[in-house]
Amino acid sequence: MPVVHEVDVVVAGAGQAGLSTAYHLRRDGYEPERDFVVLDRAPGPGGAWRHRWPTLTYGRVHGMHALPGMPLTGADDDRPSSEVIGGYFAAYEDAFGLRVRRPVAVRAVREAGDGRLRVETSDGVWLARALVNATGTWDRPFWPRYPGQELFRGRQLHTAQYAGPEEFAGRRVVVVGGGTSAVQHLLEIAEVATATTWVTRRPPVFREGPFDEERGREAVALVEERVRHGLPPQSVVSVTGLPMTEAMRRAEEAGVLRRLPMFDRLTPTGVAWADGTETAADTVLWATGFRAALDHLAPLRLREPGGGIRVEGTRAVRDPRVHLVGYGPSASTIGANRAGREAVRALRRPPLPARPATGRPRPEPALAGAAPGPAGA
């Protein structure tokens, strides 16, 4: 029999979104381990940043927002972002005593039968009033299906397995995808590969100039709109365009950013288009993004016919006990910060009813939401 714990709120995932949630819970008076618990499947701190390739140095990360309540200062731009941010997250968890439990993977969340959620994990069961799901996307790389994929004799890998450009030295490489990761891979690999080919489904849109707050808000609003209609969220780049950097301008001049439309199939020795053109390749790198890692929520049947989960604010429309943070419009470091705050605000219990006319004292609330019960306001 698994050990069964009782807690008010379970936070699944300790990346930016989960830690922001935990911080705001603490600020609201929730005690870690007593009122809430943070479960993370990874063996150490850092969320998805733990896995980012070594050449993605801190200086090359654009627009990383520090977690609430503790600035990230003095970081060396030349150090891998995985080390800088992993170290920062570790210090953060310590500073606020968040007591993240790891490695603990949430395997399934289902009805407990008494109004609570039953959170089944690799290390016991938690019964909780609410779940804040902050499991990110890194664990669900998206590989599109193309004819001939199984025939290709070279190597196929995804961004999730990319470890830097060295292994592509002397290879002919096809990079698939129109996002920031694809462009970063391409620029690095072009330095060492024999040949690179870049293919994307839609022509990439390059964005000149700074990404100001207004454009940021517009981009978030577009993703929000999809999520509100129960559609799977789009990547942020698909609505913001690719920021044109100096390195990209140089790569463009050198012909590295010459983009071809998506191929129609893979062959044993490369990729081919419907018009009969073929390009020989040793490696196909799928920089085709990630999907939200939400399989463990399947028993709750939150998905809409459109394939996405409809949320209002952070709350799942089909089950108000569940909040999704770092999902869709909040899938950025700043979005994750805000979503954590918003989820905690929504989790607060509704105010107690006005004091009855008899003057009988009403019970003092214990810690916000310490007892099990229906989801808050």
Give the residues lining the site for ligand FAD (CB under 6 A): 12-18, 39-42, 47-48, 52, 61-64, 105-106, 134-136, 138-139, 181, 293, 296, 326, 331-334, 336
To the nearest whole angstrom, how small is the minimum distance from the Cβ of residue 186 to ligand FAD? 14
User: What tokens does 7 get?
Assistant: 């807690």
Which residue number, 66 or 317, has a Cβ lying nearer to ligand FAD? Answer: 66
To the nearest whole angstrom, how small is the minimum distance from the Cβ of residue 126 to ligand FAD? 12
By CB neighbour count within 10 A (0-12 exposed, 13-18 middle, 19+ buried), where does 317 fall? middle
Which residue number, 217 or 355, has a Cβ lying nearer to ligand FAD? Answer: 217
Which residue number, 282 or 332, has a Cβ lying nearer to ligand FAD? Answer: 332
Distance CA 190, CA 255 (A): 10
To the nearest whole angstrom, how small is the minimum distance from the Cβ of residue 170 to ligand FAD? 25
Which residue number, 49 or 152, has a Cβ lying nearer to ligand FAD? Answer: 49
Which residue number, 176 or 271, has a Cβ lying nearer to ligand FAD? Answer: 176
> What are the percentages of helix, strand and coil residues in the chain, rounded to 5?
30, 25, 50
- Name all contacts of 303-309 with Cβ < 8 Å and 24+ positions apart: 303/230, 304/230, 304/231, 305/230, 306/229, 306/230, 306/231, 306/232, 307/230, 307/231, 307/232, 308/226, 308/227, 308/229, 308/230, 308/231, 308/232, 308/233, 309/227, 309/230
Which residue number, 53 or 152, has a Cβ lying nearer to ligand FAD? Answer: 53
Contact present, 303 and 310 (Cβ < 8 Å): no
Which residue number, 11 or 347, has a Cβ lying nearer to ligand FAD? Answer: 11
To the nearest whole angstrom, how small is the minimum distance from the Cβ of residue 331 to ligand FAD? 4
To the nearest whole angstrom, how small is the minimum distance from the Cβ of residue 352 to ligand FAD? 33
Distance CA 237, CA 235 (A): 5
Q: Give the SS3 label for residue 248.
A: helix
To the nearest whole angstrom, how small is the minimum distance from the Cβ of residue 50 to ligand FAD? 7
Distance CA 44, CA 51 (A): 11
To the nearest whole angstrom, how small is the minimum distance from the Cβ of residue 73 to ligand FAD? 17
Phi and psi at residue 260, to the nearest 5°? -110, 155
